[in-house]
A and B are shown apart, each in its own frame.
Chain A
Amino acid sequence: MRNVTLILDDGTKFHGQSFGYEKPVAGEVVFNTAMMGYPESLTDPSYAGQMMVLTYPLVGNYGVPEFSIEPNGTATYMESEKIHAEAIIVSDYSTDYSHWNAKESLGDWLKREQVPGITGIDTRQLTKVLREHGVMMGKIIFDDEPDNIPSAQYEGINYIEKVSCKDVITYKPSDVVEGNVETLKLPKGNKCKPGKKVVLVDCGVKHNIIRCLLKRGVEVIRVPWNYDFNNLEFDGLFLANGPGDPDTAVDAVENIKKFLANPNVRPCMGICMGNQLLSKAAGASIYKLKYGHRSHNQPVQQVGTNRCFITSQNHGYAVDNATLPSDWEPLFVNMNDGSNEGIKHKKNPWFSAQFHPEAASGPVDTEFLFDDFVKLL
């Protein structure tokens, strides 16, 4: 394995070895405290432009499953069509893997998809540096090559544009096959009435959002992030997750504003970036968190109740509760730092979550939000 160095923007260096594709790379360095789920995280479009640091040291243990696509167009095991993260940074990569479902090693997959992976890094110390300083730009260079790559830019770049689909794609509910996350059997009555259509605004959607809708009997019309869906015929609107700075998604916000202003009030649900775009459309503003929430163990509480949930999260920006207009209110709040975890309209069937109810990876405790949504259709 070739020796590499991770250099952060503040000059801090970490030395390790390459186990993925061998090319220098730059990006925003973010940490994730999840203890499993690297195939899902790497293919999560929200990681576009970012180098993912895993705090759990042992990575690669169960290899990587086959990258196959189901007849309905969703990936069998992954969360999109390819790896979106710029690189993966770990402490102790397992060269040998063991799992009945594995097709190849993590290293081989990274090489195939031309994504660098480095190991031997004290990812706890790295995380502490990021925690104290806030997320930072960084780059991985090979010790036996000159450092000739420029630093990366993250803020202000429209990553949504980069990862969103380019054309409208329709998914029929009859096509549904159980995908990666084998969630427990749906209780009876969780399917929506037949023939309902939902427009899904693709800011970088994870396939499990599509799966969660399809298995509830919804037809999903996936549209590019800036597509004006207001002219389409549909029963509900779904705002997906996505990478980067929400302030760059101006077109999407405009389209959502139109939807909210339409006298024909239809249900709307948003996730992650979707929460931020809905908030922006409602009139609230967004700020960047010091180091974001990226983990499987974020506690949220439903405002005004004793109900609490463990959630999967991956975001660097948050909605400023204080700027929510009077007809909107916070729906969930983060129990650790008090930040916004979702909003809802006081009268209309519009709500969103900053966390990931579709999980994949992470806990599936809040999948019921999809049930709540389809019931409104």
Chain B
Amino acid sequence: MDKENVKKVLLLGSGALKIGEAGEFDYSGSQALKALKEEGIETVLINPNIATVQTSEGVADKIYFLPVTPFFVEKVIQKEKPQGILLAFGGQTALNCGVALYEQKILEKYNVEVLGTPVQAIIDTEDRELFVKKLDEIDVKTIKSQACDNIEDARKAAADLGYPVIIRAAYALGGLGSGFCDNEEELNKLAEKAFSFSPQVLVEKSLKGWKEIEYEVVRDRFDNCITVCNMENFDPLGIHTGESIVIAPSQTLTNSEYHKLRALAIKIIRHIGIVGECNVQYAFDPVSEDYRVIEVNARLSRSSALASKATGYPLAFVAAKLGLGYGLFDLKNSVTKTTSAFFEPALDYVVCKIPRWDLGKFRGVDRELGSSMKSVGEVMAIGRTFEEAIQKGLRMIGQGLHGFVGNKELKIDDIDAALKAPTDKRILVVEKAIHQGYTIDQIHDLTKIDKWFLDKLLNIYNTYGELQAKGSLKAVDAVLMRKAKVQGFTDFQISRAVGLEGQIEQEEATGIVRAFRKKMGVVPVVKQIDTLAAEYPAQTNYLYVTYSGVANDIEYENDGKSIVVLGSGAYRIGSSVEFDWCGVQALNTIRNNGYRSIMINYNPETVSTDYDMCDRLYFDELTFERVLDIIELETPHGVIVSTGGQIPNNLAMRLHGENIPILGTTPESIDNCEDRDKFSTLCDRLGIDQPEWAALTSMDDINDFIDKVGFPVLVRPSYVLSGAAMNVCSNQDELERFLKLAANVSKKHPVVVSKFIEHAKEIDFDAVAKDGEIIAYAISEHIEFAGVHSGDATLQFPPQKLYVETMRRIKKISKLLAKELNISGPFNCQYMAKDNDILVIETNLRASRSFPFVSKVLKINLIDLATKIMLGLPVEKPHKNLFDIEYVGIKASQFSFNRLQKADPVLGVDMASTGEVGCIGDDTASALLCSMLSVGHRIPEKNILLSTGDGKRKAEMLDAAKMLEKHGYNIYATGGTSRYLTENGIKNTLVYWPSEEDKQPQALDMLHNKEIDMVVNVPKDLTVSELSNGYKIRRAAIDLNIPLITNPRLASAFINAFCNKSLDDIEIKAWGEF
């Protein structure tokens, strides 16, 4: 190491999870911190994402839950005086912040050295014009684009290049504000949006249909280079790589092509001067060796996290070491521990990444995939055939698919059109097309997906046909059975193909297939990921399960010392990094107590799938079939299902049915909570109030019930998570829309409809119990009234405005529930409170989304406690509780509406947030300001646009409006709001709705002219007519990157905070200092 002077290093995190920037940066940041720690360097981390593993005790020496903005980073630098800073581990957020710090000469001022890739090199890759110039110097071809500073130039450039063209905003993460335009009209729209994100917009010729190939490249300061992995997109150029199915290694490149692009990647990284890791993306002509470099990411990226997981090569860890001045030859391969880190992994399996979308949760969203990213998570499947990997992957994304075949039939009106214009359902459309008799050539012509991939999909389709033709399970011989399993078929798919499912219940049918094939000797094997394709012996614990093999790579101890923890699967709206944190904490506790920790999970963006975190990692499916396969091999002491969110929770009963020991609360109790009917009965018996409810199975029954209680109602099917699970419906229209969606979710359990209480407070109760007695608990209060999904709500902990009486009652009810359900482990209850009436909404006998937040604010690791209890270890009741806390934590939600074209950015119906932050302050205002700024809000300078909804909500906002006036803000308001404000003596300017076309000034014009700094738009109701006016304003705010708040309570709280507290008054304190 040559940076001997560097004793303290600041690492910038990526903040809240958002589309385009998700859990992968928790993984890369955690690895970097580990690498620094190993060198004895003191580490300081700035990251407001409180649910991450990197912001846990012991990962960094000091943690600041603050916004990653130059303002706050400078304050931390002032205070901590680090010698070095790492910018490459926190995504685009950290990179942009780092560039700003550099350009504002703040780094120079405090003498902070950027470790790793120099900032100039970052700028050279980020600024398109500089980038093209730089690559021109070494004769490397780029997509020539014309940088335009105004829309007129953009139009001219497009005309010169010829349509179709692609538009990109400079300095934008994950293709934000970019897209394809086929004509000038489309260009006008897109360019305007792009200019709102960036002063510079690039117009370039579109290469739609070319292959998209990526390389992950590493370079040390001695100029030694390696490419750790290459990857090929299943979907050709035109679909953002984050939206594409990706295969590693490339499948359709010859040696010459592979090494041509590899050599170019190395040439590029050398010329740019990267020290550490970068990613080079190519467009590659499918009918020659012609290429273009699309972009270079001079930082760890989603792709590098994927490459690390795909190969076992810890890119972030190595990049951090190289930043300290090590050479690659100084470092060891962390899998083999004997061979050098200077090598390129050889894979003996194929990896398939599939994005997870949640577009169904958004009203009006554009489902077509394009050059901008919309997916909220991803999965990685490992197999030894492509068929196996892709079928595994399709199941992993958790959208009800059983694989490529054997799914519920998809209705598509025009297959040609659907193949041409890809949506999140693309692969299903391919299956449909095959089914309808399209040839591979035809599908290729319409999709430009390489025929090799299509042929493999056809193999799967044909095998399904072979099974169907057998007509019964008995007729399937071992050869066909093995073939199907090698191609990734599940027992369920096979049972459906042979017609078994129709005769008996699904679970029983799959059980019969399982027993049948086991008797034939068709069983899977476990293989290691060892980076060297078995060339050298490796003690690796990084595993996957496959049918393409004859022997297991590992020997099992069968000593009853293993504990299996089920992970949380793909990140999606409603389940993300918080469950990864829970899983990792459970693994730590298991390990620390002398047990072998086993993780099953398949999300490449997580820390729990870092093979360092456990004793054995199965990077594989969380289906009942696969979990059982693994448990049969591991014969564990027990299985933990309560730290991974809803996926493992849903497996509890079936595993229990196979006599698998489930640790903690019994599966029967879990079932009593998950089944709403059973749970409500239980509450009635205990005398716990709930909103009036009924379990209903027909539309008529539902209507009758609503006639009795009236709208709004809360509708919830059993056994589902977030959004689709729970909805407030305020009219018939919404009710019907939601039930259509929910009916797809689960037919087995009836729908529960309950009366929804307006203007009630919502309260989360997170706790850990042992044998029915609560050991530790946390009560958090929502800032918004009930009706905003708890995942979208802003939480304050400890509660700031809750009656002591309310808290006491909540505690009492929770105690009762814990006892009745004999809870041992984590659980969560959601309550509504109006006056001092407490109603229970739901109870989950597992860790909830808010566990990391309350654990960190309370400074008691609730998962550690829960895991000890589940292991049967003695625990003590913690000495402190929430009443002892002298500060406040606020958890705020991050929305990604800017990514979701056309989606209406309102809250309430479905959960819509993609991430969250949690900030701690000495007072509510400090904590709220930090958390709101962390999720992308800005403190407005002067002009605020208010449309504050119906009467009650207008009243809720009155004090805030007064405050704004008092602090010299200019208020602009639409019709009703303006009248109301004027009546109440608040000065304001009337602006007009889009429907009031001929009147001036138009609210939309003001937004487009950048005259508004913040929009508060509270939807009145969710009727179509009201929505169109409000929708246009809300959408414009999002598209023009103007902060938007749609909830009056949150808006008031935020306005109060920034009017009463200036940023300079916020005390900069590390977590440990509270």
Contacts and interface: CB of A to CB of B under 8 A. Distances in A.
Residue in A34, A39, A96, A98 with the greatest tally of chain B CB atoms within 10 Å:
A98
Contact of B450 (A98, A180, A185): A98
A61 B251 contact: yes
B348 A101 contact: no
A100 B346 contact: no
B222 A55 contact: no
A136 interface: no
Given A96-B452, A98-B451, A336-B339, A185 B252 contact: no
A185 B141 CA distance: 13
A61 B384 CA distance: 14
Contacts of A335: 329, 339-340, 342-343
Interface string B266-288: 11000000000000000000111
Interface in A351-375: 359-365
A137 to B, nearest CB: 20
A112 interface: no
Given A96-B451, A299-B343, A57 B350 contact: yes
A14 B537 contact: no
A362 B455 contact: no
B346 A33 contact: yes
B470 interface: no
A91 B384 contact: yes
A58 interface: yes
A91 B548 contact: yes
B139 A185 contact: yes
Contacts of A58: 251, 350, 385-386
* Interface SS of chain B: loop
B551 A125 contact: yes
Given A62-B252, A307-B222, A127 B535 contact: yes
Contact of B347 (A56, A310, A364): A56
A184 interface: yes
Nearest to A56: B348
A363 B259 contact: yes
A41 B525 CA distance: 30
A94 interface: yes
The interface size bin for chain B is 35 or more
Contacts of B339: 299, 335-336
Contacts of A14: 550
A306 interface: yes
A162 B739 CA distance: 76
A137 B27 CA distance: 45
B827 to A, nearest CB: 44
Contacts of B7: none
Nearest to B140: A184
Given A58-B385, A127-B534, A308 B342 contact: yes
B479 to A, nearest CB: 10
Nearest to A127: B534
Interface residues of A, number: 59
Contacts of A267: none
Interface in B533-549: 533-537, 548-549
A114 interface: no
Given A62-B252, A335-B343, A36 B258 contact: yes
Nearest to B328: A308
A308 B452 contact: no
A92 interface: yes
B260 interface: yes
Contacts of A94: 452, 455-456
Contacts of B386: 58
B1068 interface: no
A61 B450 CA distance: 11
A299 B339 CA distance: 9
A180 B289 CA distance: 11
A255 interface: no
Given A96-B452, A295-B535, A306 B224 contact: yes
B287 A100 contact: yes
B252 A99 contact: yes
Given A55-B346, A122-B548, A363-B262, A98 B224 contact: no
A24 B419 CA distance: 46
Contact of B548 (A57, A127, A184, A298): A57
B255 interface: yes
Contacts of B551: 122, 125
A204 B564 CA distance: 54
Contacts of B262: 363
Contact of B252 (A61, A297, A310): A61
Interface in A93-135: 94, 96-101, 122-125, 127-128, 131
B535 A33 contact: yes
A124 B343 contact: no
- Residue in B348, B450, B451 with the greatest tally of chain A CB atoms within 10 Å: B348
A58 B348 CA distance: 9
Contacts of B782: none
A309 B262 CA distance: 13
A168 to B, nearest CB: 30
Interface in A66-105: 91-92, 94, 96-101
A207 interface: no
Q: Which of B287, B535, B551 is most buried by chain A, counting CB atoms within 10 A of its CB?
A: B535
Contacts of A123: 348
A125 B526 CA distance: 11
Given A131-B537, A296-B346, A33 B532 contact: yes
Given A100-B288, A182-B289, A362-B259, A34 B346 contact: yes
A183 B386 CA distance: 30
Given A128-B534, A184-B267, A55 B455 contact: no
B254 A57 contact: no
B253 interface: yes
Given A37-B255, A182-B256, A131 B224 contact: no
Nearest to B452: A98
A40 interface: yes
Contacts of B452: 61-62, 94, 96-98
Given A33-B535, A131-B535, A335-B340, A295 B346 contact: yes
A35 interface: yes
B350 A301 contact: no
Interface in B343-363: 343-350
B251 A96 contact: no
Nearest to B247: A58
A152 interface: no
A65 B456 CA distance: 21
B1030 interface: no
A157 interface: no
Contact of A308 (B254, B329, B451, B535): B329
Interface string B926-958: 000000000000000000000000000000000
Nearest to B267: A184
Contacts of A295: 346, 533, 535
A300 to B, nearest CB: 9
B533 A307 contact: no
A169 B289 CA distance: 31
Interface string B538-581: 00000000001111010000000000000000000000000000
A316 to B, nearest CB: 14
A377 interface: no
16 contacts: A33-B346, A33-B532, A33-B533, A33-B535, A39-B254, A55-B348, A91-B384, A92-B384, A122-B550, A124-B549, A128-B534, A131-B534, A181-B256, A291-B535, A307-B222, A364-B263
Shortest 6 CB-CB distances between A and B: which pairs?
Answer: A37-B255, A96-B455, A98-B452, A55-B533, A361-B255, A33-B346
Interface of A: 14, 31, 33-37, 39-40, 55-58, 61-62, 65, 91-92, 94, 96-101, 122-125, 127-128, 131, 180-185, 291, 295-299, 301, 306-310, 335-336, 359-365
Given A35-B347, A98-B252, 12 more contacts: A92-B384, A94-B456, A98-B455, A99-B252, A124-B534, A131-B537, A295-B533, A308-B342, A310-B344, A336-B340, A362-B255, A363-B263
